[in-house]
Amino acid sequence: MSSTYETFIEMVRQIGRLESVESLLDWDQETKMPPNGLNARAEQLSTLARLVHEHRTSPELGEALQDLNGQSDDPVRATNIRETRRLYDRAVKVPADLVAKIASVSAHAKSAWAVARKDSNFAAFAPHLDELLKLKCEVADLVGHNGDRYDALLSEFEPGAKAEEIANVFAELRGPLSEFVSQIAAASTRPDPAIITRHFPWAAQEQFARTLATAIGFDFQSGRLDASVHPFCSGTTPNDVRLTTRYIENFFNCAIFGTLHEAGHGVYEQGFDEKHMFTPMGSAISLGIHESQSRMWENLVGRSRGFWKHFYPLCQTQFPDSLSDVSMDAFYGAINAVQPSFIRVEADEVTYNLHIILRFELEREMIAGRLAVNDVPEAWNTKTKELLGLTPSNDAEGCLQDIHWSMGTFGYFPTYALGNLYAAQFFATARNAIPDLDDRIARGDFKTLLDWLRENIYRHGQRYTATELVEVVTGSPLSVTPFIQYVRAKFSPVYGLE
């Protein structure tokens, strides 16, 4: 038994190592690679994707899984067997040629998207999107589903989740959120968000962003921070976690909260047990759970009054020209201003989920074959009007703003909204467990919360599914209530609402 498991886990680690090389090449493509490196990079990524796929579907791994028979009393072994089995069962249904082709097509599509977005030229990206959409639909049909093709794609990012269930959660969320957005729009007390569009020099932003990331527990001996068009966190091992951010000199929020967001992903990645490196026990459960950590550190902690009670004096010295005449209250209001806007990554906490509902609804139509790629810009604009009351003036601030579709990651967006909901539910539980949590944050003590998260979430790797983890940690299944309560409690005072 033991030797079968040892042989098995070494095969699993090999896959994990190859995948970490893939993510390192992806990181490099987004941050450092010269433009002419693209063709070779597409070949490298395609070869690696094929190699990973061959390992994931190897007869030896299949036999080992058969021999182990899904059985183990040890939770670590049981987790590694269960998750490897899940991925094996999925991967064997998809031919290696198709996997390699998607990797190559998406490397080119990502590059075409970056140019199309810069020029706001959807037509230049449309053929890439169309090709990727067809390829991913092919994958979904091969993987199999119960009539809803979206489920097969969603399960790649949020194992076990169903589109219909997510649609129901979003239906519960939409009413209360829209109502609250309307109340805010009609409020007579309003913060002045213009403060955060003053001048904030790049170098000072970078220095301050690093200070904040370090303060919440991101270890720069085991990680990096670089600039990229689309911010992300790429965790290769707990000791090598790459964050990226985007600097806009006349917009404070982008790099500062963007870095806190990615550092939130980063502390989760750094919180995995090193001895489980390259195995499911040392990996994230789902993108929704991953996002719960980034959103918690970015928003529930990073946009809280206590956080800025601690950091605002330093922030003022960092940006004296723009902030020395701004009170803490005015600053707190400005970073928490609620304003329907075009760009998801810059959206406030209240309207953010509406951006996700928009993408989820469009993706479902595209995947079901009811929305053609050429009609996406118009459908995007119609939904933006319906959900946010705005009409994008070009596709760069509309359907070209996100990188995800260029990577072929359809079914990814809902994990962002799930992350917001999980974050609120976890944070409510942390507050009960640590009664003086808000005071601790205001004193600059983030370690108490980080330790709680490490103990209750990070160290478990994939031991629980997302659904199980929420129940284990909070004692209840996923609910929209903690999120609705959180936004109402936080934003009502900002807008003088009761």
Residue 420 sits in the site that holds Zn ion (CB under 5 A) = no
Distance of CA 486 to the CA centre of its chain: 20
- CB 287 → Zn ion: shortest distance, Å? 8
In terms of CB distance, is 46 or 415 closer to Zn ion?
415
Site residues for Zn ion, window 289-318 (CB under 5 A)?
Answer: 291, 294
Q: Strand pairing partners for 235?
A: 241
In terms of CB distance, is 235 or 377 closer to Zn ion?
235
At 364 the three-state DSSP class reads helix
For residue 159, count other CB atoms closer than 10 A to its CB.
19
Nearest to 478 by CA among 165, 131, 96, 107: 165
* Interface region with Zn ion, contact rule CB under 5 A, candidates 38-46, 88-96, 286-294, 346-354: 286-294
In terms of CB distance, is 55 or 355 closer to Zn ion?
355
Q: Which ranges in 120-146 belong to alpha helices (H)?
A: 122-143
In terms of CB distance, is 131 or 262 closer to Zn ion?
262
Q: Strand pairing partners for 243?
A: 225, 233
In terms of CB distance, is 204 or 256 closer to Zn ion?
256
For residue 3, count other CB atoms closer than 10 A to its CB.
7
- DSSP, res 351: T
| Distance in angstroms between the alpha carbons of the first and the last residue of the chain | 62
Task: Rounding to the nearest 10 degrees, give the CA dihedral for residues 193, 198, 200, 201.
Answer: 160
- CB 346 → Zn ion: shortest distance, Å? 14
Q: Please report the DSSP string for 232-268 in residue order.
A: -EEEEETTEEEEEE---TT-HHHHHHHHHHHHHHHHH
* Interface region with Zn ion, contact rule CB under 5 A, candidates 21-29, 287-295, 347-355, 376-384: 287-295
Q: How far apart are CA 32 and CA 324, in angstroms?
A: 36
- CB 415 → Zn ion: shortest distance, Å? 9
- CB 292 → Zn ion: shortest distance, Å? 10
In terms of CB distance, is 52 or 356 closer to Zn ion?
356
In terms of CB distance, is 232 or 312 closer to Zn ion?
232
Distances (CA, A) of 288 to 25, 380, 463, 466: 24, 24, 15, 8
- CB 286 → Zn ion: shortest distance, Å? 12
Structure-token pair, residue 212: 């904040």
In terms of CB distance, is 308 or 416 closer to Zn ion?
416
Each residue 370-389 as x (binds Zn ion by CB under 5 A) or -, in order, gives --------------------
Q: How far apart are CA 476 and CA 202, in angstroms?
A: 43
- CB 450 → Zn ion: shortest distance, Å? 18
| Cβ-proximal residue to Zn ion, closest one | 294
Does the active-site annotation cover 262? Answer: yes
Each residue 198-237 as x (binds Zn ion by CB under 5 A) or -, in order, gives ----------------------------------------
Q: Which ranges in 412-456 belong to alpha helices (H)?
A: 414-433, 437-442, 447-456
Strands 233-237 and 240-245: antiparallel
* Interface region with Zn ion, contact rule CB under 5 A, candidates 179-187, 266-274, 284-292, 476-484: 284-292
The answer to whether residues 334 and 323 touch, using CB atoms and an 8 Å cutoff, is no
- CB 420 → Zn ion: shortest distance, Å? 11
Query: Is residue 43 packed enough to be buried (19+ CB in 10 Å), middle (13-18) or exposed (0-12)?
Result: middle
| C-alpha torsion sign, points 195, 201, 205, 207 | negative
* Interface region with Zn ion, contact rule CB under 5 A, candidates 53-61, 80-88, 182-190, 288-296: 288-296
- CB 436 → Zn ion: shortest distance, Å? 28
Catalytic residue among 22, 30, 262, 269: 262
Structure-token pair, residue 200: 């904030």
Q: How far apart are CA 27 and CA 5, in angstroms?
A: 32
Number of residues located near Zn ion, criterion CB under 5 A: 2
Residues classed as catalytic: 262
Give me the residues that bind Zn ion (CB under 5 A), please: 291, 294
